[in-house]
Chain A
Amino acid sequence: MNNNSKIVESFKTFLVEVGELSYFTSRFFKEVFRPPYEFKEFLRQCYNMGNRSLLLVSVTGFIIGLVFTLQSRPTLLEFGAVSWMPSMVSISIIREMGPIITALICAGRIGSGIGAELGSMRVTEQIDAMEVSGTNPFNFLVITRILATTLMLPILVFFGDTIAIFGSAMVENIKGNVSYLLYFNQVFDSLKFSDIIPTTIKTFFFGFAIGLVGCYKGYNCKKGTAGVGLAANSAVVYTSMLLFIIDFIAVFITNIFY
């Protein structure tokens, strides 16, 4: 096989993958409103994804706020603009850094977990067993997980952002003798709804993408146990790529309207 045919083959595989993912997405929208509603399983997934990611998101958020402030401080001091620190940190964390970093962490933790769990259920015929018992495995396994990630990610991002700003406030309090009250006053003064609303909408899409790709890769897992690892791995890779594409589109649209 020469290089050209390899490129053509890879492109074909890519198109097939995009087509299958689109079909999977359309199936989600077709079945999401169709009963029975697996509310108990949805809550269980929310708990698994939200509560168990809280510590990781908190620690990461705190360190980001801390490091970001420590790194920016000398430059701002040089220009006598250190008073801009709360505005700069809050806007950059809320608009961009908080959502994308939290989403990437969740892609690694939740996306790979979904891919591996559904993948192992597929190869051990558990999904087939659900189907032959006359129940809808897509409804029970896929819809609940996608809805849970879509709902939980904005909450995790909100939580992570708050902790990151608190980390930044702590540095300013120690290094610059700025009180927490003054710091948070400046944060709220600098933030507008036009900063918060688009970014919140964006995080719903991030959550949807994490759930969708993880479920797609796991649900369609092939090639035995080796396929389970592949499903988990490719769920993270594809989701990460998709997150940056969504981020780019979101920023582009936000710039048009605001």
Chain B
Amino acid sequence: MSSFDVKSKPIIEIKNLYKSFGDNHVLDGFTMNLYEGENLVIMGKSGSGKSVMIKCLIGLEEPDSGSIEVMGKNIKELEHWELDELRTEIGFLFQGSALYDSMSVRENLEFPLRRHTKKFGVIEDTTPMVMEALENVGLAHTINLMPSELSGGMKRRVALARTLILQPKIILYDEPTTGLDPITSKEIILLMISIQKKYNTSSIIITHDVDCARVISNRMILLIDNINYAEGTFEELSASEDPKIKAFFK
């Protein structure tokens, strides 16, 4: 993908984010912006605070200090119900898919849909919306299966369909290709690109996968030593002579 016009309006602004767990400083003044329609890849070593950062972003972790603004709203200042409303605009794809294992694929997709009557109204028949989301990921035939009957790649796709059903403006991907074989990884990456094109979503992709970063990123941030150490396009960063940056692209 080509470089992205960063002059457009930021949809997410994170400033000086600090987060520690006891003596372990995970984020030391992390700052970043995400722009409308952009695919931003964040790479870093394990334990560098990438997942903690997106959990702070969605309100699952509370930062020690710093500000997070999503679509102009400061996360810290929101009431619980306001945060829930904002969360319908943000999709989150978990590393382990996190499908509700006591529910079928259909129920997994219906679950958020039936609880957001403000956004969607009371939906009598959810089947068309569920089918559309599943067709987007090529798994319409799994509608009545249980998560335990799906493979790892299929689970990831169903989780993506569940994320899409709320029609979010932003999607956060936490290591979307980790634990998948190269072919399935490629399928997931292509799926992410097609979804971005179809719905014009903005995405933050946390990954270790250089191939994934190369194909999908408009811009990249390298999280090293708990800060955003380097920022640029894939081509810029992969050509860097800095040994810390070079280590990621070997």
Contact = CB atoms under 8 A, between A and B. Distances in A.
Interface in B100-142: 100-102, 111-112, 115-116
A133 B111 contact: yes
B182 interface: no
A125 B115 contact: no
Contacts of B88: 133-134
Nearest to A123: B96
Is the interface on chain A under 10, 10 to 19, 20 to 34, or 35 or more residues?
10 to 19
A19 interface: no
Contacts, number: 57
Contact of B96 (A36, A117, A125, A132): A125
B239 interface: no
A195 interface: no
B90 A135 contact: no
Contact of A134 (B85, B98, B99): B85
A134 B95 CA distance: 19
B98 A135 contact: no
Contacts of B60: 128, 131-132
Which of A117, A131, A132 has the most chain B CB atoms closer than 10 A to its own CB?
A132
Contact of A36 (B87, B95, B98, B115): B115
Contact of B92 (A36, A124, A132, A135): A132
A124 to B, nearest CB: 6
Contact of B115 (A124, A126, A134): A134
Contacts of B248: none
Interface of B: 55, 58-60, 84-88, 90, 92, 94-96, 98-102, 111-112, 115-116, 162, 166
Interface of A: 36, 117, 121, 124-126, 128-136
